[in-house]
A and B are shown apart, each in its own frame.
Chain A
Amino acid sequence: MQTYIEKIREIAARLLKEETVEMVIGFQEGTIPMISPPMSVRTVEDVEQLTWSSHCCINLANYLTDTKGKVAVFAKGCDCRSIVNHIAEGKVQREDVVIIGVPCHGMMERHTIISLFGEEIEEVVEEDDGTVTVRGKGREEKYQRSDLMRQNCRVCVHRNPVLYDELVGDLVEVPADIRRHEEVEKIEALGTDERWEFFEDLIATCIRCYACRDSCPTCYCPTCFVDEAQPQWVGKGDEEPDVMTFHILRAFHTAGRCTDCGACVSSCPMGIDMRAFTKKLEKDCLDLWDWEAGQTADERPALETFQPSDPEDNFK
């Protein structure tokens, strides 16, 4: 981790000093445990505030669409694929962004750590031996880092950046035995009613704060369908049909574009795993059209195009 941080600061300082970019987007230390918030740095002096941790869960591609001028961004495998998606969709111009790839060892899941520890956490320290020490008031526990990883990171097969100008470290190895759609298969195996119940339970605590949508790089519509007033597609209240409509439609809007970065889950104040919606769509895109989001900027996302080889009869 320390070598990453040093390299991150070194690259950021150089790019700003040489005026290659006007701004660097990275992560800073949080004021509470288990969070590293995004920040922008415009001067060499401020570069020391940049950091890296296992809590860099936000997808920084989300911050590129509002920027002006040339910017540099630190990008994990998934962030990088979201940037590629932005380039493919014309939201970001390749020449306007310096991508600094961060080969990713996976991020940790705050809600998992809170569940395991069971009381307020005051400090989380990663040790060099792959363990994590969690401290609360007068209590300390040690966990294996692998047990605290976010689910999307556990099943990630794209840990290395796909498109980059610089790297902060050596590319990482991706285990060969990852069952990437294990969770989806479990849901697929349920009967129709059970499946509906599963999703009802999943969103039961949703407060419609829209943190999932707002942390999602693919959710960049100028006016989201839930915010449309004419016509009004969906009620604004907290009743289940409206909440469910929001989640299902949002998921479909990300089909073929979602990179399973997990920012939605990490951002959710209620700890809802809305990847249960999007992961199925990722699997379908892979099964039906051999398509994975953000692997190339030269092709349109699966649901924006069609080919004679598509499985559906109506396209033939």
Chain B
Amino acid sequence: MRILQIDKKDWSAGLEQSRKDYTLIGPVKEGNNVSKFRELAADEEPDFSITTTTMSPKSVVFPQSEVMFTFTTDSGSPDCNIMQAPETNYSPRAVIGIRPFDALAMNIVKMNFDTPEYRDPYWCDAYEACTFVGLAVTDPESCDFSTSTGTGPFDRQGLDVLLVDSGDSFLAEVLTDKGEAWMNSAGFDREADTDAEKVITAMRADAEKKIASTVKFANIDKKETLDLYNEEYWESISFPCLNCGTCTYACPTCWCFDIQDETAHKKGRRMKNWDSCMFPNFTIHTTGHNPRDTKLMRVRQRFMHKLKYHQSKYGKGIMCVGCGRCVTSCPVNIDIREVCRQMNS
């Protein structure tokens, strides 16, 4: 691993230079105090003042709505009812300023979309087009509990480059060939001073120390599924829930989607839209029977999936990276840290 140094005065020019090879994506503020990751306009730079964007960067590879196929229902057409691949663009894209917890979330979501049995081409092609230029969290938000979820403010997992803001410059850990390629494209090639590694280690320790919020989940893995399932606390946990999709949409690891055909004037398209286990429609059968027809069942499912089933299935911890988005965005303050505590106790 190489550590390079980027003077902040050279940052804009480097970004600009990399645009010849990459589409740039980064965090931006929009609307009323909200922020998200999206393609940066020609004169736009990623806003590094945002620590945790309102919406996670999962949309970079898993858009809220995506066309899977197009088709015609015109019986006079030779292509009638034949699915056609939509126009796509998987040219290189650099995701600048993704935070370590969100990069780990990409790895977690990958476990669902890229399996030995099946490879989701939409997600995987978009993912492979990405170079993740991460930004270490030097000032964690109070709902950040990422140090207890297998990541942390300076974690390198899932990243191609890790930038560390060291005042007048960024120290850049170049972690992969993809990262090397983006740094080359941007013209960032100055080796950092020999003490850079020490500086980063010290900053990392400092940032990790600032995270006061933690969760424990080892006992959840040991407990019987049905014992957890039948606990009384689901009643009080689920009581305030509105069954909106906020937590699932803000979450970087929630991967569920719905497939819808939209047809008008004999032209159609098959859409892949985000879906949410909080919605009654999520599980309704064509018979009208709904196996999860109460909000208690739906709330329980979300937490059991994240904190129990995921551990049991993959043996790689929980399906949560500790970003804190669901905690801060839930309209009724259902706090996954508190749910985890109850399940683990």
Contacts and interface: CB of A to CB of B under 8 A. Distances in A.
A210 B279 CA distance: 9
Contact of B245 (A38, A39, A210): A210
Interface residues of A, number: 42
B244 A115 contact: no
B55 to A, nearest CB: 7
Given A122-B142, A205-B31, A38 B338 contact: no
A272 B333 contact: no
B33 A271 contact: yes
B262 to A, nearest CB: 5
Nearest to A266: B331
Interface string A168-198: 0000000000000000000000000000000
Given A31-B338, A235-B260, A236-B273, A39 B240 contact: yes
Contacts of A209: 244-246, 249, 276
B337 A214 contact: no
Contacts of B262: 235, 237
A63 B241 CA distance: 10
B64 interface: yes
B166 interface: no
A39 B328 CA distance: 18
Contact of B244 (A205, A215, A227): A215
Interface residues of B, number: 44
Nearest to A57: B331
A177 B1 CA distance: 68
B34 interface: yes
A22 to B, nearest CB: 13
B281 interface: yes
Given A38-B240, A120-B51, A237-B260, 5 more contacts: A32-B143, A36-B333, A39-B239, A62-B242, A211-B331
27 contacts: A30-B333, A31-B333, A31-B335, A32-B143, A32-B328, A36-B333, A37-B240, A39-B239, A111-B32, A111-B33, A137-B139, A204-B30, A205-B31, A205-B34, A208-B245, A209-B249, A211-B245, A215-B242, A215-B244, A238-B65, A238-B273, A239-B65, A267-B244, A267-B332, A270-B32, A271-B32, A272-B32
Q: Which 9 A-B pairs have the closest CB atoms?
A: A271-B32, A237-B65, A267-B331, A211-B244, A205-B31, A214-B242, A37-B333, A209-B245, A269-B329
